[in-house]
Amino acid sequence: MNVRRIDDYTYMIDKENGMNVPGIVYSSEELFKKSVDEGSLKQVMNVAKLPGIIKASYAMPDIHLGYGFPIGGVAAFDAETGIISPGGVGYDINCGVALVSTGISFDEFMPKIKEVTDDLFIEIPSGLTSRKGLKVSSSDLNEILRSGLKWAYEHDLATRDDMDHTEDHGSIENSGENVSKAAQQRGMSQIGTLGAGNHFLEVQKVSQIFDYDLAGKFGIKMNEVTVMVHTGSRGLGHQVATDYIRMLREADYSVKTSDPELISAPVRSPIGEKYIDAMRSAANFAFVNRQIAIYRIRSVFEKHFGVTPRLIYSLAHNIAKEENHVVDGESMKVIVHRKGATRAFPAGKASSPFEDTGHPVLIPGSMGTASYVLVGLRDNLDKSFGTTCHGSGRVLSRNQAVKKYAGLVEKELQEKNVYARPATKQVLYEEAPESYKNVDEVVDAVYGASLAKPVVKMIPVSVVKG
């Protein structure tokens, strides 16, 4: 493997052995040296071997090992002649983040920290079970798959403003007919739930503003309390991924490369089209899942403070999208896989109501450090198909984290004045803040690479862990 540093924030993996394009990893020298392992660089190279890949196989500074594609990976394919790969989307289809501003200051919040966090823990169920998910009928579920937030709007569970502040307005067109009964069964009772492990709900304090004008336009104030939710398509999306990976293994016209996890199909093939359709259904399900969580957060804040939190943005960081991009001076339709990577369309490319600013980009860090709101920079259209990182990214596996930090995380959070409500002790250790890269360094790197710039920084106040 020949990896070269080509500027302060860019590494190139030269084309070799069947790679159709080079690999590009955006990272600072320090971050690269201490946190990028050979396994994930191999994955960047494997992705570069897929047919129809355009320009490069990209990775963001939060890169780490994933299923087939690295997490933090970005790859675009010709929408006619390229491929689609479930490994480039991930098992949690439309895993993503939503952020609300509450209008409550940190000082107003603190006296009620325990009651409010405990209520959030109850109202937005976490852990593997699905108690207290929203009850929906199977015809409702079908409508959710087909129309996403439009269904929530029609049932008074989302406002126009919520739709405006959700990626793709929370509704991606599809038939709703390619999701198995088993997948539907798993999702049925899980709407409005967090799920386990890495998923969380966090109350935060706005601790730093880098761009007052943009922060104001996004509706975020200094010292205000925000609430961030990280969840995706739960069992439904996982089952869709499982179903289609199995079907692709059995289909004779699927595209196989050296890595069986990179199984893919031509975009224009019956199974390729079906997977894309089913992935879009699962994405709509995830948009509704986050929306119901937001709805429940609102009712908790209405009860305790008499205020209704406003949605700043809800976005996907595991998804493949059909988009138009300029390649070699010409506009073309491509399928962009963002796997643990976030769309960050800048001013001029973002859709309404963010045409003039770019849309907010939500970057969780860890429950012991910080999180950010960024905005995409114009250069990213050329450098990463309008994409930036999705978090800080793991440096330790869950097992390693437990071995190293079991019994220590409670004390660390206490010292940092973060009140934690984990579903289990285990999850607290697996998610030890030290098991992630330093979010400040990751944000520095995406800024340095001209992909996105910081607007606001938030620090954790209390956290509910799946």
78 Cβ contact list (under 8 Å, min separation 6): 52, 54, 267, 332, 333, 334, 335
For the packed helices 138-147 and 270-305, what is the interaxial angle rounded to 10 degrees? 100
Structure tokens at 125: 């169920």
Closest approach, Cβ 465 to ligand 5GP, in A, equals 6
> Judging by DSSP bridges, how do beta strands 23-26 and 57-64 pair with one another?
parallel
Q: For residue 201, say whether it is annotated as part of any ligand binding site.
A: yes
> Does 236 contact Mn ion by CB under 5 A?
no
Is 371 annotated as belonging to a binding site?
A: yes
Q: How far is the CB of 326 from Mn ion (least distance, A)?
A: 29
Residues 214-233 that bind Mn ion (CB under 5 A): 232
**How far is it, in rounded angstroms, from Cα 255 to Cα 263?**
6
Candidates 68-76, 87-95, 159-167, 253-261 — which segment interacts with Mn ion by CB under 5 A?
Answer: 87-95
Q: 23 or 340: whose CB is closer to ligand 5GP?
A: 340
Cα–Cα–Cα angle for 332, 338, 342, rounded to 5 degrees: 105
Q: Of ligand 5GP, Mn ion, none, which one sits near residue 235, judging by CB under 5 to 8 A according to partner kind? A: none
Q: For residues 7 and 19, give the distance between their C-alpha atoms in angstroms, rounded to a whole number.
A: 22
Q: Which is nearer to ligand 5GP, 130 or 462 (CB)?
A: 462
Q: Is 199 one of the annotated binding-site residues?
A: yes
**Catalytic residue at 238?**
no
User: Is 393 known as a binding-site position?
Assistant: yes
Asked if 95 touches Mn ion (CB under 5 A), the answer is yes
| CA 102 to chain CA centroid, nearest Å | 22
Q: Which is nearer to ligand 5GP, 86 or 391 (CB)?
A: 391
Residue 388 binds: one of Mn ion, ligand 5GP, none (C-beta under 5 to 8 A by kind): none
Q: Which tokens belong to 16?
A: 């070799």
Choose the binding region for Mn ion from 38-46, 94-102, 129-137, 397-405 (rule: CB under 5 A): 94-102
Q: Is 35 annotated as a binding residue?
A: no
Amino acid at 456: V
Q: CA-to-CA distance for 79 and 69, rounded, in angstroms?
A: 19
Query: Considering the complex, what minimum distance in angstroms separates the CB of residue 66 from ligand 5GP?
Result: 9
Question: Is residue 92 part of the contact set for Mn ion (CB under 5 A)?
Answer: yes
Characterize 113-128 residue by residue with b for buried, 16 or more Cβ atoms within 10 angstroms of its Cβ, and e for exposed. Answer: beebbebbbebbbbbe
- Decide: 265 and 275 in contact? Cβ < 8 Å: yes
Residue 391, marked binder: yes
Neighbours of 266 (CB within 10 A): 20
**How many of the chain's residues bind Mn ion (CB under 5 A)?**
3
- The reply to whether 390 sits in an annotated binding site is yes
Select the binding partner of residue 63 from ligand 5GP, Mn ion, none (C-beta < 5 to 8 A, by kind).
none
Q: How far is the CB of 466 from ligand 5GP (least distance, A)?
A: 9
- How many other CB atoms are there within 10 angstroms of residue 74's CB atom? 29
User: Is the Cβ of residue 41 or residue 409 nearer to ligand 5GP in the bound state?
Assistant: 409
Does 92 belong to an annotated binding site?
A: yes
463 makes contact, choosing from Mn ion, ligand 5GP, none, with CB < 5 to 8 Å by partner type, with: ligand 5GP
**Nearer to ligand 5GP (CB atom), residue 66 or residue 82:** 66
- Is 331 labelled a binding residue? no
Shortest reach from residue 109's CB to ligand 5GP, in Å: 17
Query: Which residues face 462 on adjacent strands?
Result: 203, 419
402 vs 1: CA distance, rounded Å? 32
* CB neighbour list of residue 76: distance below 8 Å, 6 or more residues apart: 53, 54, 55, 82, 325, 334, 335, 336, 337, 385
What are residue 324's DSSP bridge partners? 333
Q: Which does 148 bind (CB under 5 to 8 A by kind): ligand 5GP, Mn ion, none?
A: none
22 or 460: whose CB is closer to Mn ion?
A: 460
Measured distance CA(167)–CA(313) in Å, rounded: 8
Which residue in the list 64, 238, 359, 390 is annotated as catalytic?
A: 390
Choose the one of Mn ion, ligand 5GP, none that binds residue 202, judging by a C-beta under 5 to 8 angstroms depending on kind. Answer: ligand 5GP
Shortest distance in whole angstroms from residue 458 CB to ligand 5GP: 8
Q: How far is the CB of 323 from Mn ion (least distance, A)?
A: 20
CA distance 84 to 273: 9
Interstrand relation of 96-105 and 200-209 (parallel, antiparallel or unpaired): unpaired
Question: Rule CB under 5 A: is residue 277 a binding residue for Mn ion?
Answer: no
Query: Does residue 168 bind Mn ion (CB under 5 A)?
Result: no
Round the CA-based radius of gyration of the chain to a whole number and report it: 21
User: By Cβ distance, which residue is nearest to ligand 5GP?
Assistant: 391
Is 113:253 a contact under the CB 8 Å cutoff? Answer: no
H or E stretch covering 319: strand 318-327
The contact set with ligand 5GP (CB under 6 A) reads 62, 71, 95, 198, 200, 202, 230, 340, 364-367, 371, 390-393, 431, 436, 460, 463
Task: List binding-site positions.
Answer: 92, 198-202, 230, 317-318, 364-367, 371, 390-393, 465
Query: Which residues participate in the annotated binding site for GMP?
Result: 198-202, 317-318, 364-367, 371, 390-393, 465
Catalytic annotation, residues: 390
